[in-house]
Amino acid sequence: VFLELDGEGPNYAQLIRAIKAAIVSGRMSSGVRLPSTRALARELGLSRITVLAAYEQLRAEGYVESRVGSGSYVNSLRTEPALKPPANEPIAPPSRYAGRARAVQDRLLPRIHLGVRFDLQYGEPQINPALNAIWGRELARAATYTPMRVSLSQGHLPLREQICRYLALRRGVQVAAEQVLIVSGSQQAIALTARVLIDEGDAAVIEDPHYFGAWQELTAHGACLVPVATDHEGLICAQLPKSAPRLIYVTPSHQFPAGSTLSLSRRLELLRYAEANQCWVVEDDYDSEFRYDAHPLAALRSLDHGDRVIYIGTFSKVLSGALRLGYMVLPTSLRDDFVNAKFLCGFGCPTLEQAALAHFMENGGFERHLRRSTKVLRARREALIAGLHHHAGKRVQVADSHAGMHVVIWLPDYSYAQIDVLIAMAHEAGLGLYPMAPHYHFPPAIPGLMLGYCNLSTTDIEDAMCLFGECLDAIDASVLSPT
């Protein structure tokens, strides 16, 4: 029998694998006598001790049996029929969930610009090397003071308490720690919401445009999504469907990605609709931390006297998505169902990270970080808008927005085809631009761009806007000779 060692790891382990493969494939069949340890050692250039160790292991695992004075024999294992190697042809999705997840997965991903000088991508928060140092200290501290035990599925109590304090001060939401659930970011919050509230085929309203991750997860889960248009006042409540959906997913503070704020009268209209139709409202407050006007609106949840609003907050934008920490404020009647779902989906979030964040909030470091980040982002935002006015002038309309980490612009004098050329041209020049259209189910008549300014210095932003103006000029010049 030819035994080929694969060169991975210790010799005896290689020999064991080789002999097992020969037995399982049927090349060494039941009852065959193995070579003597001495002979095999000589043949393979191994020490006899190595071969002895391998035989002993094979015996312990039941592959061979030893007969006293006569050597080792392959055991009867009934290995036929031979197990086939895996097929390479595409395989049908194993569950309906998997099938739906395959179908929705790439509306946005192919459009990422890699390696450009000025990438105006939205998503990752401000990269702040100082945060690494601060966070390292907080984690080390948490490791010193926190027993390494699984935390409650609902989340580490001190962190929930800090979140309550924060919500009361900053978002006008009065809530007790029992109604807060710690999750691993907004995406998990949406996934848990789907599990708790949606059966396959249930209708769910989503804003158009919307956060694509919510669209993906709700679709994969089996919801029938009903996109409802938004305008400068947010969701157009008059267009909510006649027949009640199970839930309405909204971004009231800062419509994602268009940037509008849901007006107070629409807020009340939405809550009345939810009450009348017995449906739930999911308020995703993904980046309300960064506001540049004096007077942010309080969260929708703070108006909700019917206990129908599920509030989602996250630390991914204000600190880092690397943490995987966010939270939900739950209606009383749903709290236990959400805690059950969180438990079943993988128990609580990591204990030390939760303890570190609780301490960071308690000692004021979080507020300090927030103030500093807001100051930096405000300067970048102003540089971006000034650059747009200077270099693009009246060719772009800047959508009015006083929050977040990106600016939306509309280009009413250009066609979608021209914007595609613009994006390609900008990419060649080292500027990554992102279109609005992929965020829509029904893309608008006028093309738009989403300009993330989080990770470029004000100088870079000025240069980027200069480049943007030059690309626009080139498009304008080419209008005389259309392609």
Query: Pick from 413, 418, 411: which is nearest to 396 by CA?
Result: 411
Burial of 10: CB neighbours in 10 Å, binned 0-12, 13-18, 19+: exposed
Query: Is the omega angle on the peptide bond into residue 257 within 30 degrees of 0, that is, cis?
Result: yes
Cβ of 145: how many Cβ atoms within 10 Å?
A: 10
Q: Smallest gap, in angstroms, from Cβ of residue 295 to a second copy? A: 3
Q: Smallest gap, in angstroms, from Cβ of residue 364 to a second copy? A: 15
* 312 vs 190: CA distance, rounded Å: 8
Asked if residues 166 and 208 have their Cβ atoms less than 8 Å apart, the reply is: no
The two structure tokens encoding residue 244: 């009640």
Q: Which is nearer to a second copy, 144 or 481 (CB)?
A: 144
* 270 vs 316: CA distance, rounded Å: 27
Q: Which is nearer to a second copy, 144 or 483 (CB)?
A: 144
Asked if residues 348 and 156 have their Cβ atoms less than 8 Å apart, the reply is: yes
Distances (CA, A) of 246 to 224, 230, 353: 10, 20, 34
Q: Which is nearer to a second copy, 222 or 443 (CB)?
A: 222
The two structure tokens encoding residue 94: 């194993």
Q: Smallest gap, in angstroms, from Cβ of residue 74 to a second copy? A: 12
Q: Which is nearer to a second copy, 243 or 483 (CB)?
A: 243
Q: Which is nearer to a second copy, 280 or 414 (CB)?
A: 280
Q: Smallest gap, in angstroms, from Cβ of residue 481 to a second copy? A: 43
Query: Which single residue is written with the structure tokens 């006042």?
Result: 233
Residue 204: strand, helix, or coil: strand
Q: Which is nearer to a second copy, 59 or 441 (CB)?
A: 59
Query: Is the omega angle on the peptide bond into residue 209 within 30 degrees of 0, that is, cis?
Result: yes
Q: Smallest gap, in angstroms, from Cβ of residue 62 to a second copy? A: 4
Asked if residues 120 and 426 have their Cβ atoms less than 8 Å apart, the reply is: no
Q: Which is nearer to a second copy, 334 or 383 (CB)?
A: 334
Q: Which is nearer to a second copy, 302 or 418 (CB)?
A: 302
Q: Which is nearer to a second copy, 24 or 474 (CB)?
A: 24
The two structure tokens encoding residue 333: 């009647």
Q: Smallest gap, in angstroms, from Cβ of residue 104 to a second copy? A: 9
Q: Smallest gap, in angstroms, from Cβ of residue 331 to a second copy? A: 7
The two structure tokens encoding residue 428: 């060649």
Q: Smallest gap, in angstroms, from Cβ of residue 88 to a second copy? A: 8
Cβ of 454: how many Cβ atoms within 10 Å?
A: 22
Q: Smallest gap, in angstroms, from Cβ of residue 140 to a second copy? A: 4
Outline where 1-83 has alpha helix (H): 11-24, 37-44, 48-60
